[in-house]
Chains A and B, each alone.
With several copies, the nearest count.
Chain A
Amino acid sequence: MAYEVNTPVFDGPFDLLLHLILQEEVDIHEVSLLRIVEAYLVEVQRMQTFDIEIATEFLLIAATLVELKTRRLLPGKADMDLDEELALWEERDLLLARLLDCKTFKDVAGVFSELVEKAGLSFARMAGPDERFAELMPDLLEGVTPVRLQRAFMRAVQPKPPTTIDLYHVAPIRASVAEALMELLDELPSLGRVTFAQLTEAIHDRIAVVCRFLAILELYKQGRVDLEQSDKFGDIQVLWTGGNDVGFEAVFNIDDYEG
Protein backbone atom coordinates (compact mmCIF):
# COMPACT_ATOMS: atom_id res chain seq x y z
CA MET A 1 0.00 0.00 0.00
CA ALA A 2 1.35 3.36 -0.94
CA TYR A 3 2.33 5.70 1.82
CA GLU A 4 0.27 8.84 1.32
CA VAL A 5 2.05 12.13 1.81
CA ASN A 6 -0.32 15.05 1.93
CA THR A 7 2.01 17.95 1.45
CA PRO A 8 2.95 20.30 -1.33
CA VAL A 9 5.41 19.12 -3.93
CA PHE A 10 8.71 18.21 -2.37
CA ASP A 11 11.72 20.09 -3.41
CA GLY A 12 14.08 17.19 -3.25
CA PRO A 13 15.10 14.06 -1.47
CA PHE A 14 16.17 15.91 1.70
CA ASP A 15 12.85 17.64 1.81
CA LEU A 16 11.01 14.37 1.61
CA LEU A 17 13.26 12.60 4.09
CA LEU A 18 12.99 15.45 6.57
CA HIS A 19 9.26 15.33 6.17
CA LEU A 20 9.13 11.58 6.66
CA ILE A 21 11.26 11.66 9.77
CA LEU A 22 10.10 14.91 11.41
CA GLN A 23 6.66 16.01 10.30
CA GLU A 24 5.16 12.57 9.98
CA GLU A 25 7.15 11.36 12.96
CA VAL A 26 7.88 8.20 11.16
CA ASP A 27 10.88 6.23 12.21
CA ILE A 28 12.78 4.89 9.24
CA HIS A 29 12.99 1.78 11.30
CA GLU A 30 9.26 1.32 11.36
CA VAL A 31 8.41 2.43 7.92
CA SER A 32 9.91 0.05 5.46
CA LEU A 33 12.15 1.35 2.78
CA LEU A 34 9.60 0.16 0.30
CA ARG A 35 7.17 2.69 1.71
CA ILE A 36 9.65 5.51 1.52
CA VAL A 37 10.43 4.63 -2.04
CA GLU A 38 6.73 4.52 -2.77
CA ALA A 39 6.20 7.88 -1.14
CA TYR A 40 8.85 9.22 -3.38
CA LEU A 41 7.36 7.63 -6.47
CA VAL A 42 4.03 9.21 -5.57
CA GLU A 43 5.75 12.58 -5.54
CA VAL A 44 7.48 11.87 -8.81
CA GLN A 45 4.17 10.97 -10.38
CA ARG A 46 2.72 14.25 -9.16
CA MET A 47 5.46 16.20 -10.85
CA GLN A 48 4.56 17.60 -14.22
CA THR A 49 7.98 16.98 -15.58
CA PHE A 50 10.47 14.47 -14.37
CA ASP A 51 13.62 15.97 -12.95
CA ILE A 52 16.56 13.66 -13.44
CA GLU A 53 18.59 15.66 -10.96
CA ILE A 54 16.15 15.11 -8.16
CA ALA A 55 15.78 11.46 -9.08
CA THR A 56 19.51 10.92 -9.12
CA GLU A 57 20.00 12.56 -5.77
CA PHE A 58 17.17 10.49 -4.41
CA LEU A 59 18.72 7.31 -5.74
CA LEU A 60 21.98 8.08 -4.00
CA ILE A 61 20.19 8.65 -0.75
CA ALA A 62 17.97 5.64 -1.29
CA ALA A 63 21.12 3.58 -1.66
CA THR A 64 22.38 4.82 1.69
CA LEU A 65 19.01 4.06 3.24
CA VAL A 66 19.08 0.57 1.83
CA GLU A 67 22.40 -0.01 3.49
CA LEU A 68 21.26 1.49 6.78
CA LYS A 69 18.15 -0.60 6.69
CA THR A 70 19.99 -3.78 5.85
CA ARG A 71 22.49 -3.16 8.58
CA ARG A 72 19.78 -2.49 11.10
CA LEU A 73 18.14 -5.79 10.39
CA LEU A 74 21.30 -7.46 11.50
CA PRO A 75 20.88 -8.15 15.20
CA GLY A 76 24.11 -6.67 16.41
CA LYS A 77 26.48 -9.26 14.99
CA ALA A 78 29.54 -7.69 13.56
CA ASP A 79 30.05 -10.02 10.67
CA MET A 80 30.34 -7.05 8.41
CA ASP A 81 33.63 -6.08 6.91
CA LEU A 82 35.19 -3.41 9.14
CA ASP A 83 35.86 -1.11 6.19
CA GLU A 84 32.30 -1.48 5.01
CA GLU A 85 31.06 -0.81 8.50
CA LEU A 86 33.11 2.36 8.80
CA ALA A 87 32.03 3.50 5.36
CA LEU A 88 28.43 2.98 6.32
CA TRP A 89 28.81 5.03 9.52
CA GLU A 90 30.48 7.70 7.49
CA GLU A 91 27.67 7.78 4.99
CA ARG A 92 25.13 7.92 7.74
CA ASP A 93 26.91 10.85 9.38
CA LEU A 94 27.15 12.60 6.06
CA LEU A 95 23.46 12.11 5.41
CA LEU A 96 22.63 13.32 8.91
CA ALA A 97 24.81 16.41 8.48
CA ARG A 98 23.17 17.18 5.15
CA LEU A 99 19.72 16.80 6.62
CA LEU A 100 20.60 19.12 9.49
CA ASP A 101 22.03 21.68 7.07
CA CYS A 102 18.95 21.42 4.93
CA LYS A 103 16.70 21.87 7.97
CA THR A 104 18.67 24.90 9.13
CA PHE A 105 18.27 26.72 5.85
CA LYS A 106 14.63 25.76 5.55
CA ASP A 107 14.09 27.55 8.85
CA VAL A 108 16.09 30.55 7.65
CA ALA A 109 13.93 30.62 4.52
CA GLY A 110 10.88 30.87 6.76
CA VAL A 111 12.31 33.97 8.43
CA PHE A 112 13.26 35.42 5.03
CA SER A 113 9.71 34.92 3.91
CA GLU A 114 8.45 36.95 6.86
CA LEU A 115 10.99 39.70 6.20
CA VAL A 116 10.02 39.85 2.54
CA GLU A 117 6.37 40.04 3.43
CA LYS A 118 6.94 42.82 5.95
CA ALA A 119 9.21 44.79 3.62
CA GLY A 120 6.66 44.30 0.83
CA LEU A 121 4.17 46.49 2.70
CA SER A 122 6.27 49.52 1.84
CA PHE A 123 6.95 50.83 -1.62
CA ALA A 124 10.08 52.79 -2.34
CA ARG A 125 10.02 56.17 -3.98
CA MET A 126 11.83 55.87 -7.29
CA ALA A 127 10.43 58.77 -9.27
CA GLY A 128 13.75 60.52 -9.57
CA PRO A 129 14.35 64.21 -10.22
CA ASP A 130 11.67 66.13 -12.11
CA GLU A 131 12.07 67.78 -15.51
CA ARG A 132 13.74 70.86 -14.02
CA PHE A 133 16.83 68.70 -13.69
CA ALA A 134 16.48 66.96 -17.05
CA GLU A 135 19.39 68.87 -18.54
CA LEU A 136 21.68 67.53 -15.87
CA MET A 137 20.53 63.96 -16.17
CA PRO A 138 23.03 61.81 -18.01
CA ASP A 139 21.82 60.73 -21.43
CA LEU A 140 21.72 56.99 -21.15
CA LEU A 141 20.96 56.74 -24.84
CA GLU A 142 24.17 58.40 -25.93
CA GLY A 143 25.66 56.25 -28.65
CA VAL A 144 22.50 54.21 -29.03
CA THR A 145 21.49 54.21 -32.69
CA PRO A 146 18.17 53.03 -34.11
CA VAL A 147 19.98 50.00 -35.53
CA ARG A 148 21.33 49.12 -32.09
CA LEU A 149 17.80 49.32 -30.79
CA GLN A 150 16.61 47.02 -33.55
CA ARG A 151 19.33 44.51 -32.68
CA ALA A 152 18.42 44.72 -29.01
CA PHE A 153 14.84 43.87 -29.95
CA MET A 154 15.97 40.86 -31.97
CA ARG A 155 18.04 39.72 -29.01
CA ALA A 156 15.13 40.14 -26.65
CA VAL A 157 12.69 38.06 -28.70
CA GLN A 158 15.27 35.40 -29.51
CA PRO A 159 14.18 32.07 -28.01
CA LYS A 160 16.13 31.57 -24.81
CA PRO A 161 18.42 28.56 -24.80
CA PRO A 162 16.81 25.81 -22.74
CA THR A 163 18.19 25.42 -19.26
CA THR A 164 20.94 22.87 -19.52
CA ILE A 165 20.99 20.11 -17.00
CA ASP A 166 24.34 20.35 -15.39
CA LEU A 167 25.54 17.01 -14.10
CA TYR A 168 28.57 18.45 -12.42
CA HIS A 169 27.92 16.97 -9.03
CA VAL A 170 26.93 13.47 -9.96
CA ALA A 171 28.56 10.69 -11.89
CA PRO A 172 27.46 10.41 -15.50
CA ILE A 173 24.11 8.68 -15.55
CA ARG A 174 24.16 5.47 -17.47
CA ALA A 175 20.88 4.21 -16.17
CA SER A 176 17.39 5.37 -15.44
CA VAL A 177 14.52 3.65 -13.69
CA ALA A 178 12.57 3.69 -16.93
CA GLU A 179 15.40 2.00 -18.81
CA ALA A 180 15.91 -0.53 -16.07
CA LEU A 181 12.20 -1.28 -16.15
CA MET A 182 12.27 -1.82 -19.89
CA GLU A 183 15.22 -4.17 -19.56
CA LEU A 184 13.58 -6.13 -16.77
CA LEU A 185 10.34 -6.44 -18.71
CA ASP A 186 12.42 -7.93 -21.45
CA GLU A 187 14.45 -10.31 -19.27
CA LEU A 188 12.13 -11.43 -16.48
CA PRO A 189 9.37 -13.31 -18.35
CA SER A 190 11.84 -15.83 -19.75
CA LEU A 191 13.75 -16.18 -16.46
CA GLY A 192 10.79 -16.98 -14.22
CA ARG A 193 12.58 -17.06 -10.89
CA VAL A 194 15.80 -15.18 -10.43
CA THR A 195 17.66 -13.53 -7.58
CA PHE A 196 18.34 -9.84 -7.34
CA ALA A 197 22.05 -10.61 -7.17
CA GLN A 198 21.84 -12.41 -10.49
CA LEU A 199 19.95 -9.55 -12.02
CA THR A 200 22.67 -7.14 -11.04
CA GLU A 201 25.81 -9.22 -11.24
CA ALA A 202 26.97 -7.61 -14.46
CA ILE A 203 26.40 -4.11 -13.12
CA HIS A 204 29.16 -2.36 -11.24
CA ASP A 205 27.61 1.06 -10.98
CA ARG A 206 25.76 1.62 -7.71
CA ILE A 207 23.27 3.98 -9.33
CA ALA A 208 22.41 1.41 -11.95
CA VAL A 209 21.89 -1.22 -9.24
CA VAL A 210 19.59 1.13 -7.35
CA CYS A 211 17.71 1.85 -10.59
CA ARG A 212 17.13 -1.86 -11.04
CA PHE A 213 16.04 -2.11 -7.43
CA LEU A 214 13.52 0.70 -7.86
CA ALA A 215 12.34 -0.84 -11.11
CA ILE A 216 11.72 -4.14 -9.31
CA LEU A 217 9.75 -2.30 -6.66
CA GLU A 218 7.72 -0.64 -9.38
CA LEU A 219 6.99 -4.02 -10.95
CA TYR A 220 6.02 -5.32 -7.52
CA LYS A 221 3.68 -2.37 -7.12
CA GLN A 222 2.15 -3.17 -10.48
CA GLY A 223 1.71 -6.76 -9.38
CA ARG A 224 3.96 -8.17 -12.05
CA VAL A 225 6.51 -9.77 -9.77
CA ASP A 226 6.54 -11.41 -6.36
CA LEU A 227 9.40 -10.80 -4.02
CA GLU A 228 10.72 -13.29 -1.49
CA GLN A 229 13.48 -13.00 1.01
CA SER A 230 13.89 -16.25 2.93
CA ASP A 231 16.41 -15.10 5.49
CA LYS A 232 17.21 -11.68 6.78
CA PHE A 233 20.40 -11.05 4.94
CA GLY A 234 19.60 -13.28 2.06
CA ASP A 235 19.25 -12.52 -1.56
CA ILE A 236 15.91 -11.30 -2.84
CA GLN A 237 14.11 -13.76 -5.06
CA VAL A 238 12.25 -12.16 -7.92
CA LEU A 239 9.41 -14.19 -9.34
CA TRP A 240 7.73 -13.14 -12.56
CA THR A 241 3.95 -13.36 -12.29
CA GLY A 242 2.95 -10.85 -14.92
CA GLY A 243 2.30 -13.27 -17.76
CA ASN A 244 3.26 -12.36 -21.25
CA ASP A 245 1.19 -9.24 -21.73
CA VAL A 246 4.29 -7.16 -21.36
CA GLY A 247 4.08 -3.81 -22.94
CA PHE A 248 1.96 -0.78 -23.16
CA GLU A 249 0.46 -0.48 -19.75
CA ALA A 250 3.64 -0.97 -17.78
CA VAL A 251 5.70 1.18 -20.06
CA PHE A 252 3.01 3.80 -20.26
CA ASN A 253 2.97 4.00 -16.50
CA ILE A 254 6.63 4.75 -16.21
CA ASP A 255 6.69 7.37 -18.93
CA ASP A 256 6.59 9.98 -16.22
CA TYR A 257 9.94 8.91 -14.90
CA GLU A 258 11.83 9.50 -18.05
CA GLY A 259 14.13 12.44 -18.38
Chain B
Amino acid sequence: MSDEETEISADIVRALEGILLVAMEPVDPTLLAQLLEQPLAVVEGLCERLSMAYAEAGHGFQLVKVAGGYRFQSHPDVSAYVERFVLDSQHARISSAALETLAIIAYKQPLSRQQVASIRGVDPDAVMRTLQARGYITEVSRDDGPGQAILFGTTAMFLERLGLDSLASLPPIADFVPPAEVVEALEQGLRIVPSNPMGASRNEVEG
Protein backbone atom coordinates (compact mmCIF):
# COMPACT_ATOMS: atom_id res chain seq x y z
CA MET B 1 0.00 0.00 0.00
CA SER B 2 1.45 3.38 -0.95
CA ASP B 3 1.78 6.17 1.59
CA GLU B 4 -1.02 8.12 0.04
CA GLU B 5 -3.36 5.17 0.16
CA THR B 6 -2.55 4.65 3.81
CA GLU B 7 -3.35 8.24 4.58
CA ILE B 8 -6.66 8.29 2.78
CA SER B 9 -7.55 5.09 4.46
CA ALA B 10 -6.78 6.54 7.93
CA ASP B 11 -9.22 9.39 7.31
CA ILE B 12 -11.85 6.97 6.13
CA VAL B 13 -11.35 4.81 9.21
CA ARG B 14 -11.81 7.84 11.45
CA ALA B 15 -14.98 8.82 9.59
CA LEU B 16 -16.21 5.25 9.91
CA GLU B 17 -15.62 5.29 13.66
CA GLY B 18 -17.41 8.63 13.96
CA ILE B 19 -20.47 7.46 12.05
CA LEU B 20 -20.72 4.14 13.88
CA LEU B 21 -20.37 5.88 17.24
CA VAL B 22 -23.35 8.20 16.71
CA ALA B 23 -25.57 5.59 15.03
CA MET B 24 -28.63 4.57 17.01
CA GLU B 25 -29.01 1.25 15.20
CA PRO B 26 -26.72 -1.13 13.29
CA VAL B 27 -25.55 0.59 10.09
CA ASP B 28 -25.83 -1.26 6.79
CA PRO B 29 -22.39 -1.50 5.14
CA THR B 30 -23.99 -0.42 1.84
CA LEU B 31 -24.96 2.88 3.44
CA LEU B 32 -21.48 3.19 4.94
CA ALA B 33 -19.93 2.59 1.51
CA GLN B 34 -22.14 5.31 0.08
CA LEU B 35 -21.36 7.83 2.83
CA LEU B 36 -17.61 7.17 2.69
CA GLU B 37 -17.56 6.96 -1.11
CA GLN B 38 -15.67 3.69 -1.00
CA PRO B 39 -16.34 0.29 -2.52
CA LEU B 40 -18.47 -1.96 -0.35
CA ALA B 41 -15.69 -4.53 -0.04
CA VAL B 42 -13.25 -1.90 1.24
CA VAL B 43 -15.70 -0.69 3.87
CA GLU B 44 -16.50 -4.19 5.02
CA GLY B 45 -12.80 -4.94 5.25
CA LEU B 46 -12.25 -1.81 7.31
CA CYS B 47 -15.06 -2.71 9.69
CA GLU B 48 -13.60 -6.17 10.23
CA ARG B 49 -10.14 -4.75 10.81
CA LEU B 50 -11.48 -2.15 13.25
CA SER B 51 -13.39 -4.83 15.09
CA MET B 52 -10.25 -6.91 15.46
CA ALA B 53 -8.15 -3.93 16.46
CA TYR B 54 -10.58 -3.07 19.29
CA ALA B 55 -10.49 -6.67 20.49
CA GLU B 56 -6.71 -6.77 20.45
CA ALA B 57 -6.39 -3.47 22.27
CA GLY B 58 -8.68 -4.89 24.94
CA HIS B 59 -11.29 -2.12 24.88
CA GLY B 60 -14.44 -2.28 26.97
CA PHE B 61 -16.48 -1.87 23.79
CA GLN B 62 -16.58 -3.86 20.59
CA LEU B 63 -17.66 -3.43 17.01
CA VAL B 64 -19.98 -6.23 15.94
CA LYS B 65 -22.04 -7.14 12.91
CA VAL B 66 -25.64 -7.63 13.92
CA ALA B 67 -28.87 -7.67 11.89
CA GLY B 68 -26.92 -7.01 8.71
CA GLY B 69 -25.20 -3.90 10.03
CA TYR B 70 -22.28 -2.79 12.18
CA ARG B 71 -22.62 -1.28 15.62
CA PHE B 72 -20.68 -0.45 18.73
CA GLN B 73 -21.75 -2.22 21.89
CA SER B 74 -20.33 -2.84 25.32
CA HIS B 75 -18.03 -5.87 25.66
CA PRO B 76 -19.65 -8.96 27.25
CA ASP B 77 -16.79 -9.02 29.77
CA VAL B 78 -17.99 -5.82 31.38
CA SER B 79 -21.71 -6.68 31.36
CA ALA B 80 -21.86 -6.78 35.15
CA TYR B 81 -20.84 -3.13 35.35
CA VAL B 82 -23.14 -2.08 32.51
CA GLU B 83 -26.04 -3.83 34.24
CA ARG B 84 -25.36 -1.89 37.41
CA PHE B 85 -25.32 1.31 35.43
CA VAL B 86 -28.58 0.53 33.62
CA LEU B 87 -30.32 -0.34 36.87
CA ASP B 88 -29.02 2.78 38.51
CA SER B 89 -30.26 5.14 35.82
CA GLN B 90 -33.92 4.23 36.11
CA HIS B 91 -36.37 7.01 35.57
CA ALA B 92 -39.76 5.57 36.26
CA ARG B 93 -42.16 7.83 34.38
CA ILE B 94 -42.51 8.96 30.81
CA SER B 95 -42.64 12.73 30.36
CA SER B 96 -45.75 14.22 28.80
CA ALA B 97 -43.61 15.58 25.98
CA ALA B 98 -42.33 12.08 25.25
CA LEU B 99 -45.82 10.61 25.44
CA GLU B 100 -47.18 13.19 23.01
CA THR B 101 -44.34 12.52 20.60
CA LEU B 102 -44.91 8.79 20.87
CA ALA B 103 -48.63 9.29 20.26
CA ILE B 104 -47.98 11.34 17.12
CA ILE B 105 -45.67 8.67 15.76
CA ALA B 106 -48.08 5.87 16.69
CA TYR B 107 -51.00 7.47 14.87
CA LYS B 108 -49.24 9.11 11.93
CA GLN B 109 -46.44 6.67 11.12
CA PRO B 110 -44.29 6.54 9.13
CA LEU B 111 -43.13 10.11 9.53
CA SER B 112 -39.93 12.12 9.75
CA ARG B 113 -38.48 14.09 12.63
CA GLN B 114 -39.35 17.26 10.72
CA GLN B 115 -42.99 16.27 10.61
CA VAL B 116 -43.06 15.52 14.32
CA ALA B 117 -41.38 18.87 14.95
CA SER B 118 -43.94 20.70 12.85
CA ILE B 119 -46.81 19.18 14.78
CA ARG B 120 -45.34 19.59 18.24
CA GLY B 121 -43.84 22.98 17.47
CA VAL B 122 -40.57 22.12 19.20
CA ASP B 123 -37.47 20.16 18.32
CA PRO B 124 -38.26 16.55 19.28
CA ASP B 125 -34.71 15.34 18.76
CA ALA B 126 -33.78 14.41 22.33
CA VAL B 127 -37.18 12.90 23.08
CA MET B 128 -37.12 10.79 19.91
CA ARG B 129 -33.65 9.48 20.67
CA THR B 130 -34.87 8.37 24.09
CA LEU B 131 -37.92 6.68 22.60
CA GLN B 132 -35.69 5.00 20.04
CA ALA B 133 -33.13 3.92 22.62
CA ARG B 134 -35.93 2.43 24.70
CA GLY B 135 -37.05 0.49 21.67
CA TYR B 136 -40.52 2.06 21.38
CA ILE B 137 -39.87 3.62 17.99
CA THR B 138 -37.50 2.71 15.19
CA GLU B 139 -36.33 3.84 11.79
CA VAL B 140 -38.67 2.17 9.35
CA SER B 141 -37.67 3.67 6.01
CA ARG B 142 -36.28 6.67 4.22
CA ASP B 143 -38.27 9.28 2.40
CA ASP B 144 -38.07 9.09 -1.41
CA GLY B 145 -37.47 12.82 -1.68
CA PRO B 146 -34.05 14.35 -2.23
CA GLY B 147 -33.53 14.82 1.52
CA GLN B 148 -34.02 11.09 2.12
CA ALA B 149 -35.25 11.86 5.61
CA ILE B 150 -35.46 8.93 8.00
CA LEU B 151 -39.05 7.90 8.67
CA PHE B 152 -40.00 6.57 12.06
CA GLY B 153 -42.62 4.13 13.28
CA THR B 154 -43.49 2.22 16.43
CA THR B 155 -42.07 -1.21 17.28
CA ALA B 156 -43.46 -4.58 18.31
CA MET B 157 -42.26 -3.77 21.83
CA PHE B 158 -44.42 -0.68 21.85
CA LEU B 159 -47.50 -2.73 21.00
CA GLU B 160 -46.56 -5.31 23.58
CA ARG B 161 -46.12 -2.75 26.35
CA LEU B 162 -49.47 -1.19 25.55
CA GLY B 163 -51.10 -4.60 25.39
CA LEU B 164 -52.19 -4.19 21.79
CA ASP B 165 -52.35 -6.81 19.02
CA SER B 166 -51.76 -4.36 16.23
CA LEU B 167 -51.86 -0.69 15.40
CA ALA B 168 -55.41 -1.19 14.24
CA SER B 169 -56.40 -1.70 17.88
CA LEU B 170 -55.36 1.81 18.86
CA PRO B 171 -58.38 3.86 19.98
CA PRO B 172 -59.70 5.52 16.82
CA ILE B 173 -59.10 9.16 16.17
CA ALA B 174 -60.98 9.09 12.87
CA ASP B 175 -63.87 11.14 14.22
CA PHE B 176 -61.42 13.72 15.35
CA VAL B 177 -60.48 16.13 12.60
CA PRO B 178 -57.09 17.69 13.28
CA PRO B 179 -56.85 21.45 12.91
CA ALA B 180 -55.96 22.74 9.46
CA GLU B 181 -52.43 23.69 10.43
CA VAL B 182 -51.64 20.15 11.56
CA VAL B 183 -52.96 18.72 8.30
CA GLU B 184 -50.94 21.29 6.42
CA ALA B 185 -47.84 20.57 8.46
CA LEU B 186 -48.15 16.90 7.66
CA GLU B 187 -48.70 17.53 3.99
CA GLN B 188 -45.81 19.93 3.77
CA GLY B 189 -43.62 17.57 5.69
CA LEU B 190 -44.25 14.90 3.10
CA ARG B 191 -42.83 17.12 0.42
CA ILE B 192 -39.34 17.20 1.73
CA VAL B 193 -37.06 19.56 -0.09
CA PRO B 194 -33.44 20.34 0.84
CA SER B 195 -34.17 23.85 2.08
CA ASN B 196 -37.21 22.90 4.01
CA PRO B 197 -39.62 25.80 4.42
CA MET B 198 -40.85 24.29 7.64
CA GLY B 199 -37.41 24.30 9.04
CA ALA B 200 -37.15 27.92 8.09
CA SER B 201 -40.37 28.84 9.78
CA ARG B 202 -39.32 27.10 12.95
CA ASN B 203 -36.22 29.19 12.97
CA GLU B 204 -38.29 32.28 12.61
CA VAL B 205 -40.51 31.32 15.48
CA GLU B 206 -37.44 31.12 17.56
CA GLY B 207 -36.12 34.45 16.43
Binding site for B on A (CB under 8 A): 11-15, 18, 20-22, 25-30, 32, 51, 53-54, 57, 61, 68, 71-73, 75-76, 88-89, 92, 95-96, 98-109, 111-113, 115-116, 118-134, 136-150, 152-160, 163-166, 168-169, 232
> What are the interface flags for B114-134 relative to A under an 8 Å C-beta threshold, 1 for contact and 0 otherwise?
100111111101100100011
Q: Do residues B91 and A120 form an inter-chain contact, with CB atoms below 8 A? A: yes
Query: Are B76 and A112 in contact, with the CB atoms below 8 A?
Result: no
Check if B173 sits within 8 Å of A154, measured CB to CB. yes
Interface-side segment among B4-12, B33-41, B46-54, B184-192: B184-192
B125, closest chain A residue (CB): A166
Majority-rule SS of A interface residues: helix
Q: Is B86 an interface residue (CB 8 A)?
A: yes
Bound-complex Cα distance A142 to B134 (A): 13
Measured between C-beta atoms, what is the minimum distance from A160 to chain B in Å?
6
Contacts of B206 in A (CB 8 A): 30, 32
Closest chain B residue, CB of each to CB of A54:
B122
Contacts of B31 in A (CB 8 A): none
Question: Chain B residues with Cβ under 8 A from A123's Cβ?
Answer: 18, 21-22, 73-74, 79, 82, 86
- Evaluate contact between A104 and B171: CB separation under 8 angstroms: no
A9–B96 Cα distance when bound, in Å, is: 11
Residue of B87, B104, B117, B160 near A136 (CB, 8 A) is: B87
Query: Total contacts A to B, CB within 8 angstroms?
Result: 301
9 intermolecular pairs with C-beta atoms under 8 Å apart: A28-B189, A29-B188, A98-B121, A116-B99, A122-B64, A138-B92, A141-B162, A152-B103, A154-B176
The answer to whether A153 and B106 have CB atoms under 8 Å apart is: yes
Dominant SS at the B interface?
helix
In the complex, chain A residues whose CB is within 8 Å of the CB of B23? 125, 127-128
Inter-subunit contact B106/A72 (CB<8 Å): no
Extra contacts, 12 of them, besides A102-B120, A105-B104, A112-B162 (Cβ < 8 A), are: A53-B122, A108-B106, A113-B99, A119-B163, A120-B79, A136-B86, A144-B162, A146-B170, A149-B99, A149-B103, A152-B99, A163-B129
Q: Which residues on B sit within 8 Å (CB–CB) of A116?
A: 91, 94, 99, 161-162
Given contacts A29-B202, A128-B24, A153-B104, contact A163 B126 (CB under 8 A): yes
Q: Which residues of B contact A158 (CB under 8 A)?
A: 179
Shortest beta-carbon distance, A19 to chain B, in Å? 11
Of A20, A92, A105, A127, the contact of B100 (CB 8 Å cutoff)? A105
Q: Which of B75-108 contact A (CB under 8 A)?
A: 75-76, 79, 82-83, 86-87, 90-94, 96-104, 106-107
Check B57 for interface membership: any CB of A closer than 8 A: no
CA of A26 to CA of B72 in the docked complex: distance in angstroms? Answer: 50
Is the CB of B3 closer than 8 A to any CB of chain A?
no
Instruction: Verify A137–B176 contact, CB threshold 8 A.
Output: no
Contact indicator A111/B171 (Cβ below 8 Å): yes
B182 CB contact (under 8 Å) in A12, A132, A136, A157: A157
Give Cα distance in the complex from A133 to B190, angstroms.
36
Task: Please determine whether A125 and B96 come into contact, CB atoms closer than 8 angstroms.
Answer: no
The reply to whether B119 and A101 form a contact with Cβ atoms under 8 Å apart is yes
* A138, B94: Cα distance in complex, Å: 10
User: Nearest Cβ in chain B — how far from A183, in angstroms?
Assistant: 26
Contact present for B83 and A156 (CB under 8 Å): no
